[in-house]
Every structure is written in structure tokens, then in C-alpha cells.
């Protein structure tokens, strides 16, 4: 039996991923690579929809790749690459733009939210066509499964619609992908505002655990996380959102069950518990940060790894693009 094909992407919009990105997304990428033919890309072209300083974009693209590898995405077990290294993404993106209706693209909630926030004058056309480039990312690799967060469901539905439309107009060309929505249990909240999700665009980074922060900074953030009322360490998201979030983090990183942790901390206060969580997080992240820093020190080595990934990706992408062009009636060269 052939392995199912998986594809996912992450934007290099920040210097560091946070614990939510890892536990909610990258950890599943790592698990999926063992039993699937997985393609993972840093979607640097998508990041151009937000104006970024060129030096910063370059730095963040490399830092994202280094962190993915340090977190366990293994270039020998999957295909890891930068989107801009495989030009077929842009080429198929245009075909997708010519297939999508203006109305259906206008219904994408991510576009509506983001364009509303920045206003029409500051919204680039690329933000509108973003989902069609994303569809190209997925369809080029004939992906069966696309691991993403709930917020991306609509984009995957659009991708399926576009693939189905193309297939029925021009003949079978694309595999129809399915969203592989990550478990709700993997949602990590902000340490200072534990009723909202941990997010890169939070107002304050005090409640965000960044992979590339020093162990000291992260330990301090956990020890000074918001304190709930009461004093027992119990999982109760309504009454103790802060402690529940810390229990989720501890359990996800240590592999121990929440009830086991509740018994261990029975009769002990929040202070003891927070110190233990700080140790667990810091011990987990220390070697990861170290590894990412080492990878970044050898920039040409890292770029060589990404180039190999791009070469592997391109073999698949070229094949899909060639049959797409042929089925559309574009004349062969």
C-alpha cells in the first residue's frame, strides 16, 4: 500500500514560533512524517502579503526552517522546503486564480477579517489571492491530507472545490485533499490571559512562550503567569483557566495524564506547581533552542538542506504542473 501524502505550510512572520504553534501544529507534523509521505513548506511567498523588511524576511524564513528541524521535522523523513524555491507554486497559483470566482474568493473569512483590520488602502491584492496560492501549494503535491488549525478549514474547502471544478472541466488532474484538523485538546492559551489563545500577535509577549527565548525568560514568564482563585491544582477551565492551561502544557510535554498530575500536586500550592511547570518547559525547550541556534550558525548548511528539499519537491510539482498545462490546452514547448 502506498503511503498517504500530507502537505502543510507555516508562515515565517515572526522571529520565533511559540508553544501554541508547536503543540497545536508542528508536533502533529512530526508525528505524521513517520507514516506518511509528508511535504512541509515555509510559505515565504504568503508572508509577502504583510509588508516586511527584506533582511527580516530572510532571517525569519531561515529561523523558521531551523526551528522546524530542531522541533523534530526531519529532512530525511519528509520533504522540507521554502515555497519560493519551487516556482511551480506561483505558476499553478495563477491557474487557480483563473478558476476561482470573484464571489467565492470574497467570502473567505480570513481575507475579510484581515482586510477589515488594515483598511482597503493598505490591503494588497495578494491578500485576496492568498487562498488560491494556498490551493496551489496543496494540489501540486496531490496531497490527501492537510494538517491545519480550525481557522484554515474554509481554505481547504475552497481548494477541494477548485480541484473538483478543474477535474470536471478538464479531466482528472488533482487529488481532492481533506483537512486534517488538529485535536482541540492541543489548544494552548496565553499565560497572562488564559481565556484567549497564545498568539504571535498578542498585545503583550508576557504570556507567550517563545521557542527561541532564553530558558531564564521562559521560566520567569511561567512563574509569573496569571494566578487563579483558590489554591488547589485542579483542571477546571471555567474556574481555573490559568492552572488548567499549565496542566495542559505540562501534560503535553511530559506525556503524563492530567489526573496523574492533579494527584501529584494535591495539597501543594500554586507556587510549587508553577515552578515544576517552568522546569518541564525549560528542560524541554533548552535543547531545541540550542539545536536551532546551531543550525542557524551554519547558514549555508541549512540552505543546502532546504535546496535538497526543494529539488525533491520540484520533481512532484513539475509533473503536476505539466499535466495541468496539457489538460488546459497550453501548447507544449
**Partner from ligand LTN, ligand ATP, none contacting 72, C-beta within 5 to 8 A by type:** none
- Using CB under 6 A as the binding rule, whether residue 187 contacts ligand ATP is answered as yes
Which of ligand ATP, ligand LTN, none lies near 43, with the C-beta cut-off 5 to 8 A by kind?
Answer: ligand LTN
Single residue of 69, 73, 86, 138 touching ligand LTN by CB under 6 A: 138
Among 6, 7, 10, 305, binds ligand ATP (CB under 6 A): 10
240 catalytic residue (yes or no): no
Can you give the three-state secondary structure of the chain, one letter per residue? Answer: CCCCEEEEEECCCCCCCEHHHHHHHHHHHHHHHHHCEEEEEECCCHHHHCCCCHHHHHHHHHHHHHHHHHCCCCCCCCEEEEHHHCCHHHHHHHHHHCCCCHHHHHCCHHHHHHHHHHCHHHCCHHHHHHHHHHHHHHHHCCCCEEEECHHHHHHHHHHHHHHHHHHHHHCCCCCCCEEEECCHHHCCECCCCCCCECCCCCCCHHHCCECCCCHHHHHHHHHCCCCCCCCCCCCECCCEHHHHHHHHHHHHHHCCCHHHHHHHCCCCCHHHHHHHHHHHHHHHHHHHHHHHHHHHHCHHHHHHHHHHHHHHHHHHHHHHHHHHHHHHCCCCC
177 binds, among ligand LTN, ligand ATP, none (CB under 5 to 8 A by kind): none
Q: Does 12 bind ligand LTN (CB under 6 A)?
A: no
User: Choosing from 114, 187, 220, 326, which is the catalytic residue?
Assistant: 114
Can residue 280 be called a binding residue for ligand LTN (CB under 6 A)? no
Q: Report if residue 46 touches ligand LTN, rule: CB under 6 A.
A: yes
- Which member of 123, 199, 308, 323 binds ligand ATP (CB under 6 A)? 199
* Contact range with ligand ATP by CB under 6 A, out of 23-31, 70-78, 211-219, 247-255: 23-31
Active site residue 77: no
What, of ligand LTN, ligand ATP, none, does residue 30 touch, CB below 5 to 8 Å by kind?
none
Q: Which of 123, 149, 256, 325 binds ligand ATP (CB under 6 A)?
A: 149
- Residues contributing to the site for ligand ATP (CB under 6 A): 10-11, 20-21, 23-25, 148-149, 186-188, 197-201
- Residues contributing to the site for ligand LTN (CB under 6 A): 7-9, 11, 43, 46, 134, 137-138, 146, 148, 152
Just list the catalytic residues: 114, 197, 200
Amino acid at each position: 500500500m502506498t503511503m498517504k501524502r500530507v502537505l502543510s505550510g507555516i508562515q515565517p512572520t515572526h522571529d520565533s514560533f511559540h508553544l501554541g504553534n508547536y503543540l497545536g501544529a508542528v508536533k502533529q507534523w512530526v508525528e505524521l512524517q513517520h507514516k506518511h509521505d509528508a511535504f512541509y513548506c515555509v510559505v515565504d511567498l504568503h508572508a509577502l502579503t504583510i509588508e516586511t523588511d527584506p533582511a527580516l524576511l530572510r532571517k525569519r524564513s531561515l529561523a523558521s526552517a531551523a526551528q522546524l528541524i530542531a522541533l523534530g521535522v526531519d529532512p530525511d523523513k519528509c520533504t522540507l522546503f521554502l515555497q519560493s524555491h519551487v516556482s511551480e507554486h506561483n505558476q499553478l497559483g495563477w491557474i487557480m486564480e483563473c478558476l476561482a470566482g470573484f464571489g467565492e474568493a470574497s467570502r473567505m473569512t480570513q481575507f475579510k477579517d484581515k482586510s477589515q483590520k488594515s483598511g482597503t488602502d493598505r490591503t494588497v491584492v495578494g491578500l485576496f489571492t492568498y487562498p488560491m496560492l494556498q490551493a496551489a501549494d496543496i494540489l501540486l503535491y496531490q496531497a490527501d491530507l492537510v494538517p491545519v488549525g480550525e481557522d484554515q478549514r474554509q481554505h481547504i474547502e475552497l481548494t477541494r472545490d477548485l480541484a473538483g471544478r478543474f477535474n470536471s472541466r478538464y479531466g482528472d488532474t488533482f487529488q481532492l485533499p481533506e483537512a486534517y484538523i488538529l485535536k482541540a485538546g492541543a489548544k494552548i492559551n496565553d499565560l497572562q490571559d488564559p481565556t484567549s489563545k497564545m498568539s504571535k500577535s498578542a498585545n503583550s509577549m508576557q504570556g507567550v512562550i517563545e521557542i527561541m527565548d532564553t530558558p531564564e525568560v521562559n521560566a520567569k514568564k511561567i512563574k509569573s503567569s496569571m494566578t487563579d482563585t483558590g489554591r488547589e491544582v485542579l483542571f477546571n477551565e471555567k474556574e481555573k483557566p490559568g492552572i488548567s492551561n499549565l496542566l495542559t502544557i505540562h501534560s503535553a510535554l511530559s506525556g503524563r495524564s492530567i489526573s496523574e498530575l492533579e494527584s501529584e500536586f494535591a495539597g501543594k500550592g500554586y507556587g510549587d506547581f508553577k515552578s515544576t511547570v517552568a522546569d518541564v518547559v525549560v528542560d524541554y525547550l533548552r535543547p531545541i533552542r540550542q539545536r536551532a541556534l546551531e543550525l542557524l550558525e551554519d547558514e549555508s548548511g541549512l540552505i543546502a538542506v532546504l535546496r535538497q528539499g526543494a529539488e525533491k519537491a520540484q520533481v512532484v510539482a513539475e509533473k503536476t504542473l505539466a499535466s495541468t498545462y496539457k489538460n488546459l490546452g497550453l501548447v507544449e514547448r
